[in-house]
Amino acid sequence: MPDHVPDEAITHGDGGAAALAIGAAESLERTPGTGPGGAPTGRARSLWRDAWHDLRRNPVFVVSALIILFLVVIAIRPQLIADGNPYRADLAKAQAGPEPGHPFGFDTQGRDVYTRVVYGARASITVGVCATAGVALLGSLLGGLAGFFGGWWDTLLSRLADIFFGIPVILGGLVFLSVVTSSTVWPVIGFIVLLGWPQIARIARGAVFTAKQNDYVQAARALGAGNGRMLLRHIAPNAVAPVIVVATIALGTYISLEATLSYLGAGLKPPTVSWGIDISAASTSIRNAPHMLLWPAGALSVTVLAFIMLGDAVRDALDPKLR
Amino acid sequence: MTTTPEPKLLDVRDLKVEFRTRDGIAKAVNGVTYQVAAGQTLAVLGESGSGKSVTAQAVMGILDTPPGFVTGGEIFFQGRDLLTLGREERRKVRGAKMAMIFQDALSSLNPVLSVGAQLGEMYQVHRGLSRKAARGKAVELMERVGIPAAAARVGDFPHQFSGGMRQRIMIAMALALEPELIIADEPTTALDVTVQAQVMDLLAQLQREFHMGLILITHDLGVVADVADTIAVMYAGRIVETAPVHQLYRAPAHPYTRGLLDSIPRLDQKGRTLYAIKGLPPNLTAIPPGCPFNPRCPLAQDVCRTDLPPLYEAGPGRASACHFWKETLGGAR
Amino acid sequence: MGRYVIRRLLQMVPVFIGSTFLIFFMVYALGDPVAAMFGDRAPDPATAAQIRADLYLDQPLWKQYLHYMGQIFQGNFGTAFNGQPVTELMAAAFPVTLRLTLVAILIEMIAGILLGVFSGLRRGRAVDTSVLVFTLVVVSVPTFVSGYVLQFLLGVKWGWVKPAVSIDAPLGELLLPGVVLALVSLAYVTRLTRTSIAENARADYVRTAIAKGLPRHRVITRHLLRNSLIPVVTFIGTDIGALMGGAIVTERIFNIHGVGFQLYQGILRQNSPTVVGFVTILVLVFLFANLIVDLLYAVLDPRIRYA
């Protein structure tokens, strides 16, 4: 965003440009002077307490948190609910429907769809969590510094963010990942972090910039608080909330992105068990054996939905303006 | 004083409003009764949360519903109970017969429409004028409220005017259809002190000119003294005292009014510690039993903690909701 | 205004260079275009060296980039894997994708705004909740899943539409792909409109409009909508670029021979001119769409003045 555009333009522009999780950004950033604004650290703390109080009683939050907890457990130990081997193929059973012990049927190579769906959680969760952690760290660090120090550093970062925004995500992924031969999750995670950080950086920049304008921060500065203390004690607590909300929703979209890239043949590669790969393989047989596509697709959708719902619930709890 | 009972322009009787929120039911207005006659000014005084604005919104019919609900009472305007009117009839009263001036003109005017369009809209909707004719009317209005170069500025947007000019535009909008009643909700609070007097004078002058009833909502006792005929002091959704303006200043009949008056800085008492009413206004979801003011009242007795005082008649044209109004009145000398 | 446009155009230059160089870097530095030309056969070293020299591949990367950009601005986008000039592929592909994007934008605009207004005005009621659930589900189901499922149900099982799009891609056949492409954006537009409407409905100026005695429909259309749609319009504007780039999945599902299809082929066959050329155009579209959105913003909101 050009630095001379008035604040309103920046707020809305961010909402518009955030390609992956725009829903989260739409109302979190407060234009200086219009929002309830001046929340000192004490109020930031009670904001979290209030938010937690609300969340515990919000069924959306409880349900999505339980789903995510379940998914994380399955990702760590799939054996808990699936004792089969996701690679064992029985060609005689190729594309066969459900039978006792195999509730979801078999895929084209005669592998048990249920076992593969359960084992597929690991790749999705790993990519989602690691990519989000990377994006959130890098983004809030760069964006926070830009918002705090402003000046040429801010300008440079804004231009850099523009460059990454200019590249269509899926295309960039295809180009970048088509030359990678590794079958691990790391190239995918690296790519998402590379293209995802500007989104969080913009949110963090806006939040820090707004927090910096608050009267109590100005007061702390007048009292001689150093930069480090200002950032940690006064500004970071207020900037963390919007970053967490956007990151949670982004986590869902990253999982979706990974599946899309894997579907296009550029994300994860066999032997990694991935919902995206299985959906892609099943897509050619959708007429004969729709169960091969529907089960992994359902698992993928529920996972993405759980994270987006969680982010939504957290956003509602942290943004009292919207009640 | 004339003996013929003049039919009141506005007659609010025992109005009750509550807000149903997640944290419980907030009883914002608990039986407010007041009257305004044509050409008269009633000042409604009170802290924020006393229900003075909510009462006005209920009279205007612009209460946010939900969460706000009128749960009782009557609002007679020109002899008709507004609460019994249908939505469409009620709408025709708004803007045409009674109009409202809000506190913050910047946020109360639509930021993306020119002031001419917003003023002209009154004539287009209520009088069926063409867009062009309405624009001409808008220029006239702007001239009448003293906006320089009105014809040139009619196409400007609200943010291009100064605070005082914006409030004049709000006043112009309220006056557009020459209503019988104007409700001004803290019309000068957001303005610079120097501009406040100008805007207040304009309002008072126009009121005389059109012989309108005026309800002036404010928390500023200074504004009230010059323009009001009668004062109603509100506390916790009730009227605690009404009186002709000068009598109230001379001798308040309620400890709360007294506290308000004592907390005004005065030049002749320089050097003395300024009086402040102790404590905070009550939480409207849990108003204390008895007199709602009792936890903060210096005169509170046992009866104040159990019995809600009615509005006692405390002389001609005045009333006080205090068990000890006589003592309060007497102690004023 | 004029000065602002010039300034923005100048600012676009480094972004354009950065984005295209990044793609150029990925394509040329990470892959081996010459090896790709020969597929599985190992090329004769002398021939390979000759081709490298012809294609400027023996130069440092920044020189290659400059040369490539120089060629592009003379209208020479290079040759695709099948020997056709890339510009010919573009002439065939862009109109198709443009049509698809247009269909998608129209769908997301009409359906998204209607749903958003509807639910924003009835915040917390049953209509609002069901619209919210719908948007959540739509956002959660990846495009390639919803694409296959809709294609299977509407195209194959019930036979309402043709499951695949013919080469010249007439508008009628693009309806279903347009819906698939628009779905996720549609959900965002709905939510954005809903939030914006719900926030503005409590604004002071809306209260003023009611106090003026305006009829409800006038309060909503003239005062509430006019303000609430500003962020929505800007989102839809920036989405044009994103949709064109994102059409790759939709085009693959419905076998549409548009930009996404050509790009996918280019990537599969490691044909660098195709990939870089198409992406360069997409980046330009994205940048100009953003510029137009910013200018539109000033038209819609008089408080914003560009100096």
What CATH number is associated with residue A274? Answer: 1.10.3720.10
Q: Per-residue b/e over A264-295, b at no fewer than 16 CB within 10 Å? A: bbbbbbeebbbbbbbbbbbbebbeebbbbbbb
- Structure tokens belonging to residue A194: 């590379």
Of the residues B103, B108, B141, the best mutation for testing chain C's interface (the one with the most C CB atoms within 10 Å of its CB) is B108
Q: What is the three-class DSSP state of A147?
A: helix
In this prediction, residue B98 carries a pLDDT of: 92
Contacts A2 to C, Cβ<8 Å:
7-8, 11, 294
Distance, in Å, from the CA atom of A8 to the CA atom of A29, rounded to the nearest integer, reads 10
Instruction: Report cis status (omega within 30 of 0) of the bond before B67.
Output: yes
> Cβ of A297 and C241 within 8 Å?
no
Determine which of C199, C208, C222 to mutate to test the interface with B (most B C-beta atoms within 10 Å).
Answer: C208
**Same domain, yes or no: A93 and A167:** yes
Indicate whether A292 and A261 sit together in one domain: yes
pLDDT value at position C89?
A: 86
- Which of C19, C246, C304 is nearest residue A9 as measured by Cβ atoms? C304
Average pLDDT of chain C to the nearest whole number: 84
Whether C208 and chain B come into contact, CB under 8 Å, resolves to yes
A93 and A37 part of one domain: no
User: pLDDT by residue (tens digit) across B53-101?
Assistant: 999 999 998 888 778 889 988 999 988 898 888 889 999 999 899 999 9
Q: How far apart are CA A113 and CA A126, in angstroms?
A: 20
- How many residues make up chain A in this entry? 323
For residue A290, whether the previous peptide bond is cis, meaning omega lies within 30 degrees of 0, is: no
Confidence of residue B201 (pLDDT cuts 50, 70, 90): confident
Contact between C52 and C257 (Cβ < 8 Å): no
Give the other-Cβ count within 10 Å of B147's Cβ. Answer: 21
Residues A27 and A146 in one domain: no
Q: Do A38 and A95 fall into the same domain?
A: no
Domain check: are A163 and A238 in the same one? Answer: yes
Q: Which of A10, A20, A26 to mutate to test the interface with C (most CBs of C within 10 A)?
A: A26
Give residue C29's pLDDT band: very low, low, confident or very high (50, 70, 90). Answer: low
Give yes or no: residues A136 and A10 share one domain.
no
pLDDT of B257 > 70? The answer is yes
DSSP B83: G
Q: How far, CA to CA in Å, does B287 sit from each of B27, B29, B58, B207, B235?
A: 8, 12, 21, 37, 11
Q: Nearest chain B Cα to C205, which residue?
A: B108
Residues A114 and A200 in one domain: yes
CB contact under 8 A, A259 and C142: yes
pLDDT-wise least confident of B12-26, C6-20, C78-92: C78-92
In this prediction, residue C182 carries a pLDDT of: 92
> A32 and A7 in contact (C-beta within 8 Å)?
yes
Chain B residues in contact with C202 (beta carbon < 8 A): 64
Neighbours of A14 (CB within 10 A): 21
Contact residues, chain C, for A26 at CB < 8 Å = 191-192, 195-196, 231
Mean pLDDT per block of 10 residues along chain A (323 residues) reads 33 30 34 36 64 83 92 87 77 74 77 86 91 93 85 85 82 80 82 89 85 76 74 75 84 89 83 85 79 87 90 78 46
What's the burial of A84, exposed, middle or buried (CB within 10 Å: 0-12/13-18/19+)? middle
Contacts of C207 in chain B (CB under 8 A): 62, 102, 108
Can you give the residue ranges of every domain in chain C? 2-72, 90-300
pLDDT at B7: 67
Number of domains chain A is built from: 2
Distance, in Å, from the CA atom of B187 to the CA atom of A105, rounded to the nearest integer, reads 73
**Measured distance CA(A161)–CA(A142) in Å, rounded:** 10
- Interface mutation vs chain A, best among C134, C140, C252, C284, most A CBs within 10 Å: C140
Contact partners, residue C211, CB within 8 Å, separation at least 6: B60, B62, B94, B95, B99, B100, B102
Decide if A171 and C301 are in contact by the 8 Å CB cutoff: no
Please give the residue range of the domain that contains residue A25.
1-44
State the amino acid at position B285 in one-letter form. T
Say whether the ipTM exceeds 0.90: no
CB atoms C302 and B94 under 8 Å: no
Q: Give the chain A residue nearest C123 (alpha carbons).
A: A323
What are the backbone angles phi and psi of residue B101, rounded to the nearest 5°? -115, 130
Separation in Å, CA B88 to CA A122, B82, C128: 61, 11, 26
Q: Give the full edge-to-edge strand order of the sheet including B80-81.
A: B24-36, B10-21, B68-77, B80-81
Query: Nearest Cβ partner of C307 from A4, A167, A168?
Result: A4
Q: Is B62 an 8 Å CB contact of chain C?
A: yes
One domain, residues A159 and A84? yes
- Which of A44, A59, A74 is the C-terminal boundary of a domain? A44
Distance CA A1, CA C15 (A): 11
Residues 6+ apart with CB under 8 A from B255: B293, B297, B298, B299, B322, B324, B328
CA angle, A135 then A139 then A140, to 5°:
120
Cα A20 off chain centre by: 9
Query: Would you call the peptide bond into A59 cis, given omega within 30 degrees of 0 as the criterion?
Result: no
Question: Which residue is associated with the tokens 């009670």?
Answer: A46
- Same structural domain, A2 and A89: no
Reported as a single tens digit per residue, the pLDDT across C270-286 is 777 888 888 888 888 88
Nearest Cβ partner for C204 among B99, B104, B125: B104
Q: What's the rounded Cα separation, in Å, for the pair C185 and C203?
A: 27
| pLDDT of residue C58 exceeding 80 | no
CA C26 from centre of chain: 21
Considering the domain architecture, whether residues A10 and A73 belong to the same structural domain is answered as no
**pLDDT at residue C31, as a whole number:** 64
Dist CA A66 CA A73 (whole Å): 11
Q: Calculate how close chain A gets to C262, using CA atoms only, in Å.
A: 12
User: Does C156 have pLDDT greater than 80?
Assistant: no
Tell me what the mean pLDDT of segment B33-37 comes to.
90
Across the A/C interface, how many CB contacts are shorter than 8 Å?
186
Reported as a pLDDT band with limits 50, 70 and 90, residue C114 is: very high
pLDDT in tens, B289-324: 888 888 888 888 888 888 888 888 888 888 988 888
Most confident of A221-225, B1-5, C132-136: C132-136
Express each pLDDT in B220-244 by its tens digit: 777 787 788 999 999 988 999 999 9
Which chains neighbour C (Cβ–Cβ under 8 Å, 3 or more pairs)?
Answer: A, B
Residue with tokens 């690991």: A122
CA distance C35 to C274: 16
DSSP string, B162-215: -HHHHHHHHHHHHHTT--SEEEEESTTTTS-HHHHHHHHHHHHHHHHHHT-EEE
Chain C contact for A322, CB < 8 A? yes
For residue B224, the model assigns a pLDDT of 80
Do both A65 and A39 map to the same domain?
no
CATH for C90-300 (3.20.20.80, 3.30.930.10, 3.40.50.2300, 1.10.3720.10): 1.10.3720.10
Q: How far apart are CA A126 and CA A121, in angstroms?
A: 8
Burial class (CB in 10 A: 0-12, 13-18, 19+), B279: exposed
Three-class SS of residue B240?
strand
